[in-house]
């Protein structure tokens, strides 16, 4: 009888698919590995949250682990996973060396989610009122950590083609270490769309996004100060409903019913909220990755108006399901037109179906991803020999990380004794 091999996923947080796109992405990866015949253990040093997914219901073992503690070494050695997936580079920094030391033959995969150095460089350029240039990413302190993590891993999953190009051309990462894997979605049938609320049954505008994510909070402020007053002037009977997990006090203070601007907080059912809106507004001015809110809008049959950063790497050469513009006046004009014109709205909705089915349909990626994993597992020693920079970083960086972690562990145990 064949022994079922394990994939160990080490999460930065427990997956919350209803709070962020990252949570949904993680469930897609879990499904992929289960389909390939692996059993899954999900471990995280994070506290449990009220909104985390029920891992047991997904047939996933849950394990709470400690930072800077050799108890992880014992745990990982006993588990002896065939594959370890790190959720973001910070987790690889913490646990990568321990995995390499205790399970040297495990395939180490990094899920980048989105490139932090790109998001950070764009945010700084935005705040300094200057244009972002691609080489700004090289100056980011976080880039050194993020790229080191990519080099140390056997494979990094990249969600956006723009980020693939950035890593290969600007950071000169060997393409063998990178794998383009966007959101993996069910294709949309025309009959599914026919069951959704019609143009006439929908009203108002919606923005949805986790408030802990800086690009979302910035977009909400931008809507409040610059965009919504202009839309409201053209469409005085409409409202903008802002939904998102973890709203701050500052966000709640923007609630202005007399201006049709409503801060609603967490949506109990994001799909329902988006399906009943006529249009999604997403004026993102910095960020990275692929935007879950815009994918969700398409799946709900809701056209969207966003910026070039919002739509980056999302539609390839297909028409957008709405409008893409970085100009406030254009944004406002597009919102009013799309809101009032049923034909324009229906065409936008159809454009969305094509984007999902041609760019994100999971069957386009599943077999190739499984084959890539099998190939790496079968050729791991050669793959690592070819990645000398990774071996060098593993040797040096992790020696320093290891001793720092050991020092913290010793210090903690001394404090407990005292």
DSSP 106-129: SEEEEE-SS-HHHHHHHHHHHHTT
Of 201, 214, 220, nearest to 272 (Cα)?
201
**What pLDDT does 418 receive?**
64
DSSP 8-state code for residue 2: P
40 and 7 Cβ atoms separated by less than 8 Å: yes
Q: Which two tokens stand for residue 279?
A: 């249009």
| Angstrom distance (rounded) from CA 44 to CA 47 | 8
- List, in order of start, the domains of the chain with CATH numbers: 6-184+365-417 (3.40.50.2000), 190-361 (3.40.50.2000)
**What pLDDT does 245 receive?**
86
**What pLDDT does 410 receive?**
78
In tens digits, what is the pLDDT along the chain, a chain of 418 residues? 357 899 999 999 999 887 778 888 999 999 999 999 999 999 999 999 888 999 999 999 999 999 988 999 999 999 999 999 999 999 999 999 999 999 999 999 999 989 999 999 999 999 999 999 999 999 999 999 999 999 999 999 999 999 999 999 999 999 999 999 999 999 999 898 889 999 999 999 999 998 988 999 999 999 999 999 999 999 999 999 999 988 889 999 999 999 999 999 888 888 999 999 999 999 999 999 999 999 999 999 999 999 999 999 999 999 999 999 999 999 999 999 999 999 999 999 999 999 999 999 999 999 999 999 999 999 999 999 999 998 898 877 666 667 777 777 777 777 776 6
| Angstrom distance (rounded) from CA 85 to CA 88 | 9
Q: Which residues have a Cβ under 8 Å from the Cβ of 125 and sit 6 or more positions away?
A: 131, 132, 133, 136, 286
| Angstrom distance (rounded) from CA 266 to CA 141 | 33
Q: What pTM value is reported for the model?
A: 0.92
Please, how many CA atoms are within 13 Å of residue 127, restricted to the half-sphere of its CB?
A: 10
| Angstrom distance (rounded) from CA 368 to CA 36 | 12
**What pLDDT does 2 receive?**
53
Q: Which two tokens stand for residue 342?
A: 């049923």
**What pLDDT does 3 receive?**
74
Tell me which H or E stretch contains 179: strand 178-180
The sign one gets for the Cα dihedral 147, 148, 149, 153 is positive
Residue 205 φ then ψ, to 5° = -110, 155
CB atoms within 10 A of CB 336: 16
**What pLDDT does 167 receive?**
98
**What pLDDT does 1 receive?**
37
């Amino acid at each position: 009888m064949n022994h079922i091999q394990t994939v160990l996923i080490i999460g930065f947080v427990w997956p919350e698919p209803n709070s962020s796109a990252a949570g949904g992405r993680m469930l897609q990866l879990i499904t992929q590995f289960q389909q390939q015949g692996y059993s899954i253990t999900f471990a995280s040093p994070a506290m449990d949250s009220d909104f985390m997914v029920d891992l047991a219901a997904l047939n996933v073992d849950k394990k709470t682990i400690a930072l800077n503690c050799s108890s992880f070494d014992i745990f990982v050695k006993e588990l002896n996973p065939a594959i370890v997936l790190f959720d973001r580079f910070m987790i690889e920094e913490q646990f990568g060396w321990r995995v390499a030391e205790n399970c040297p033959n495990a395939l180490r995969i990094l899920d980048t989610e989105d490139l932090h150095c790109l998001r950070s460089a764009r945010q700084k350029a935005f705040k300094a009122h200057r244009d972002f240039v691609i080489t700004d990413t090289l100056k980011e302190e976080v880039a050194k950590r993020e790229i080191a993590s990519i080099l140390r891993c056997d494979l990094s999953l990249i969600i956006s083609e723009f980020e693939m190009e950035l890593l290969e051309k600007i950071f000169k990462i060997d393409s063998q270490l990178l794998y383009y894997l966007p959101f993996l979605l069910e294709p949309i049938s025309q009959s599914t769309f026919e069951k959704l609320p019609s143009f006439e049954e929908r009203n108002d505008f919606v923005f949805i996004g986790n408030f802990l994510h800086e690009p979302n909070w910035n977009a909400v402020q931008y809507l409040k100060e610059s965009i919504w007053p202009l839309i409201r002037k053209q469409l005085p009977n409409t409202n903008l409903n802002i939904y998102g997990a973890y709203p701050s006090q500052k966000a709640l203070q923007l609630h202005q019913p007399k201006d049709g601007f409503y801060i609603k907080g967490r949506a109990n059912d994001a799909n329902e909220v988006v399906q009943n809106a006529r249009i999604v507004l997403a004026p993102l001015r910095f960020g990275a990755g692929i935007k879950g809110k815009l994918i969700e809008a398409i799946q709900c049959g809701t056209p969207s108006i966003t910026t070039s950063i919002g739509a980056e790497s999302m539609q390839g050469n297909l028409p957008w399901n709405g409008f893409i513009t970085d100009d406030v006046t254009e944004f406002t004009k597009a919102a009013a037109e799309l809101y009032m014109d049923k034909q324009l709205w229906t065409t936008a909705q159809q454009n969305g179906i094509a984007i999902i089915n041609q760019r994100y349909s999971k069957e386009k990626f599943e077999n190739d991803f499984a084959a890539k994993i099998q190939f790496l597992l079968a050729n791991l020693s050669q793959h690592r020999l070819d990645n000398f920079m990774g071996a060098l970083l593993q040797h040096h960086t992790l020696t320093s990380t290891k001793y720092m972690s050991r020092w913290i562990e010793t210090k903690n145990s001394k404090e407990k004794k005292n």
